Amino acid sequence: MKRVILCVDDFGLSPEVNEAVAELVDARVVSATSCLSLGPAWPDGAALLSGPRREHLDVGLHLNLTEAFAAAPALAMPLPLLIARALLRSLDPEWLKQAVCKQLDAFEAVWGAAPDYVDGHQHVHQLPQVREVLLTELSRRYGAADPDSAGGLHGSHHARGAASTGGASGGLPWLRLTRARRTRQGIGLKQRVIEALGSSAFERQARRAGFRLNGALLGVYGFDADASAYASRFQAWLSQAQDGDVLMMHPARPLREAAPPPHQSPRGIDAARAVEYAVLRDMGTPLLAQAGVQAHRMARGPVF
């Protein structure tokens, strides 16, 4: 069996995302979820990830610098502007540090422990300047062997059913790499752009600092598929996957009729969330079995 990290992004964005994650963890179709710790549905939703589900799930921080949540509206900017300033290295270092620390603090305050891993909403964690601030802060908080040596939680993993990462890097969370899996079909434009925005430099710096990373990132597409097309893509990603890869997903249960808009994401991804949820709910388990893929927790140890 191939051991693949099946990861849902955006936990904490809405109750619909949270409920989809819980259901799909129970079905063993999801083994990691990336949490928006300033998102409106994070404080109440985190309890869904504890208890028996925790045994089958890595719980990570989804670093956000582009979604303006009510908890910290000043700690976000439009993605094109963020990318431009990062490439020019003109982002305010204090703004970046505040954004990283506030989200880690908010994660720890609710979860009671360090994240098992860290990635980025819209892959911002790998951008120039962002990656340096993030790696420095993660090393400061969680890199010490003695959990009390640097203050705070710092990798102690002591509350709310959270488990130690138990990996080769001690208390350090693993990090999500955006490198594409090379196939005969080539790489789509969107994935090429994502990878080009910092994957190689992020990998070098993270490995030098002692962090573990996944193999490749699968699951990138334009959020433009109907159920049949998404099922075909999911099947292809499972076929391409190798041990230690991450397959990224964005499912959510359909919005309740009376619910107000839960976030500011484009309408296209809202439709895609419902499509992904339906396919993963109805076909996820047989597609995994057919591809010989086992949902894997990277925090349980390296697989390659």
Q: What is the CATH number of the domain that holds 71?
A: 3.20.20.370
Residue 144: predicted pLDDT: 67
CB 37 within 8 A of CB 110: yes
CB 83 within 8 A of CB 90: no
Q: Residue 52 — φ and ψ, nearest 5°?
A: -60, -30
User: What whole-number distance in Å separates Cα of residue 275 and Cα of residue 281?
Assistant: 10
CB 168 within 8 A of CB 302: yes
Q: Residue 15 — φ and ψ, nearest 5°?
A: -60, -30
58 strand-pairing partners? 32
CB 106 within 8 A of CB 37: yes
Is this model's pTM higher than 0.85 or not?
yes
Structural domain of residue 19, as residue ranges? 2-300
In order along its 304 residues, the chain shows pLDDT tens digits of: 999 999 999 999 999 999 999 999 999 999 999 999 999 999 999 999 999 999 999 999 999 999 999 999 999 999 999 999 999 999 999 999 999 999 999 999 999 999 999 999 999 999 999 999 999 999 999 996 544 433 445 433 333 444 434 333 458 999 999 999 987 777 889 999 999 999 999 999 999 999 999 999 999 999 999 999 999 999 999 999 999 999 999 999 997 654 555 444 445 699 999 999 999 999 999 999 999 999 999 987 765 5
Residue 211's nearest CA partner among 178, 176, 241 is 176
> Which residues are within 8 A (CB) of 109 and not within 5 positions of it... i.e. 6 or more apart?
none
User: What whole-number distance in Å separates Cα of residue 230 and Cα of residue 135?
Assistant: 34
Number of folded domains that form the chain:
1
Residue 141: predicted pLDDT: 98
User: What whole-number distance in Å separates Cα of residue 46 and Cα of residue 35?
Assistant: 9
